[in-house]
Chain A
């Protein structure tokens, strides 16, 4: 027998009230946990994917689309740019590093990205088996692509035109898998990598150059989709985008600026959900308050008797506060578990959709704050009932029978 078991026995004595309070609190906490986990992990991944990339250059169009397509491979590209323009820009004195990418095809829903080894090195990718691609029509699979399609080194496949996986297949130009990458936690896990020449070759297959002149004409027409740039100096951030955007055929977009803009747009929805969760938690607090307050009426003899048995008013106060805290703590724990479970389920679903994966196994410091807030709500809800218990008029109560 102690204050905790005493409080617990009173909570068990009114199971419906207790369950309602726990449910409301758990749902509120779970909603916030889900938001924290998903938003934090998506932000972390987006930051990691864009690390070291200061500027994305591509065809004119929506700058956000350019970022989504060029860095995150989550949208269709805005178009292609001439290889010559990209090469010229790569040699610009304000550019430290330039990585050209050729996009447009996909395999089983995974993007086929034409890129040099520098793209793999940029994300710190290492072959888990096999090697990097050397010759045209060799392909390297990201860890997730290999795992989910179960494709081994040496397998052959054909890409489909377009990124939805429903376009015409380039059946006459199969790729050979020469390597599978180790997991990096970055976007490259979900990509099929090949050389830029492969992408050109797939699309030029149908008209082999007849002679030297034709070949030169084809080469002059060669294009890439985006160019990922790293600045040579901070000064470039002020000058380079403006300079590029003033050229009629190119567009430059800053990943930092565009992702911030994206999060502001998505943030409205996140804030609305968060507000809803806060309302749930406050409703839980109200439910705890009502449960404790209404139970006081039937408990007043118990409280008076406890005083005759030697309990000080402070102990009765403590007992009621503890009931609020036990409810809040239990509700918060259930909510944490539920939030992580929901995130794990969402993560499994997202992975099946080839979207940004999230995991329910990560824990964040914000969650401790959430438990603290829940306990505070429980404490606040218990204060008035606890004060009334503190003020129990023993003689007056017992005199009534």
Chain B
């Protein structure tokens, strides 16, 4: 599913990521751990094709990311990758339903209302479809953010610090939701976190050095 060889990324002179070899099989659930500045977020951005690494070869689902030019890469990302961001970043002016439709539209996929309802229902927020993000609780917003990440049935689901600022119970629920949605959508899951509370939930772990 994911194959990384000789990956290195630098911002100017500073090396921010160094990962020689990493292989992930389809359907696996990986934890990417490491202290701040070890390159966890950068690795997620590289996997999503948002950042082109200084060196190295990355292929996701047999697609060599170097072979995709700008707009092709954007298109591929929209359809193949779902991303849950730490700050969620739902679009404030749009309803919950439209946030999901936005994901379908920007990925050049048909806008499938049934899929939107089904996805919201799977995350227990179907009754919030017409609400604005500001009208939801923090927990509900996270469910909507996960729904938006999986509405296009991505093969790769990425989550960046999904449990930061959550209490123990909420953090455990967030991981449950991600596992559940990864399985339901047959997606490979990669979670980047330095949250020690969730480490024992994962069998596969990648430790990035400082």
Contacts and interface: CB of A to CB of B under 8 A. Distances in A.
Contacts of B160: 398
Contacts of B89: 301-302, 304-305, 398
A83 interface: no
A4 to B, nearest CB: 11
Contacts of B94: 9
A309 B106 contact: yes
Contacts of A156: none
A309 B108 CA distance: 10
A319 B91 CA distance: 15
A361 interface: no
A309 B107 contact: yes
A10 B93 contact: yes
B45 A394 contact: yes
Nearest to B75: A310
B78 interface: yes
Chain A's interface size range is 20 to 34
Given A304-B89, A305-B85, A308-B50, A1 B74 contact: no
Given A305-B85, A395-B42, A395-B51, A312 B102 contact: no
Contacts of B74: 307, 310-313
Interface in A356-401: 394-395, 398-399, 401
Contacts of A398: 41, 45, 85, 89, 160
Contact of B104 (A1, A10, A13): A1
Looking at B86, B87, B92, B105, the one whose CB has the most chain A CB atoms below 10 A away is B105
Interface in A274-315: 301-302, 304-315
A78 B71 CA distance: 77
Interface string B43-54: 001001011000
A264 interface: no
A12 interface: yes
B77 interface: yes
A305 B86 contact: no
Given A308-B50, A314-B71, A6 B102 contact: yes
B61 interface: no
B12 interface: no
Given A1-B102, A309-B103, A395-B51, A302 B91 contact: yes
Contacts of B77: 308, 310
Contact of B50 (A307, A312, A315, A401): A307
Contacts of B101: 1
A2 interface: yes
Interface of A: 1-2, 6, 9-10, 12-13, 301-302, 304-315, 394-395, 398-399, 401
9 contacts: A301-B87, A307-B74, A308-B77, A308-B83, A309-B78, A309-B106, A310-B75, A312-B74, A398-B89
- Top 5 nearest A-B pairs (CB, nearest first) are A310-B78, A310-B107, A1-B101, A312-B74, A312-B71
